[in-house]
Amino acid sequence: ARLVLHSATKYLGGHGDVMAGVVACDEEFAGHLRQVRFATGGVLHPLAGYLLLRGLATLPVRVRAASANAAELAGRLAADPRVTRVHYPRIGGAMIAFEVDGDPHGVIERVRLITPAVSLGSVDTLIQHPASISHRIVDAEDRRGAGVSDRLLRLSVGLEDVEDLWTDLDTALERPVRAAGRY
């Protein structure tokens, strides 16, 4: 590809405290980008640059640890009767999507260690309900056709102790009384 855009806000920074992006391109296109940057003043703040360098130094360690936690949690979720489906790539990674047999909003309301938030790649574990957050403007039929059900939760696994994470999920998955019209 001649041009690749990458969000440095996620795994590269790794701590949820940087908003930045990376453009990888050939030298000719880089020249055009430099002209635009010069004309618009769009440059990264020095502190953000420092924080990105800090994040890059620990990137391999963080990715390995978060991936190991995610693999363990995905296995436990897949074996749990309160979970109807788990989406986790067996090649690794720290993202898990899973569907619950109950109110997904109740699960989010009951987590204590895991943070309800829309992001990924942080040292902190984050959970969100895509149907009501990131995919809320997508037509319901199209959304379900793309595999984003009303009971789907997305978990970006961080570096906390896996037993602490499982305890939080296990408690949050306690079967709630179904709320009318929630899903």
pLDDT tens sequence for the chain (183 residues): 889 999 998 999 999 899 999 999 999 999 999 999 989 988 899 999 999 999 999 999 999 999 999 999 999 999 999 999 999 998 889 999 999 999 999 999 999 999 999 888 899 999 999 999 888 888 889 988 998 999 999 999 999 999 999 999 999 998 654 554 554
Predicted pLDDT of residue 137: 84
Q: Identify the pLDDT of residue 179.
A: 52
Left (φ > 0), alpha (ψ -120 to 50) or beta: where does 125 sit? Answer: beta
pLDDT at 133: 86
Domain co-membership, 77 together with 41 = no
> Which pLDDT score is estimated for 135?
86
Residue 178 lies in a domain: no
Whether residue 151 sits in one domain with residue 85: yes
- Tell me, yes or no, whether 136 and 64 share the same domain: yes
Range of the structural domain that residue 138 is part of:
59-172
User: Would you state the pLDDT for residue 183?
Assistant: 45
State the total domains in the chain.
Answer: 2
Same domain, yes or no, for 37 and 64?
A: no
- pTM metric for this prediction: 0.86
Q: Give the Cα separation of 92 and 19 in Å (integer).
A: 25
Give the pLDDT confidence score for residue 90 in this predicted structure. 82
One domain, residues 30 and 72: no
Do 91 and 167 fall within a single domain? yes
Residues 45 and 124 in one domain: no
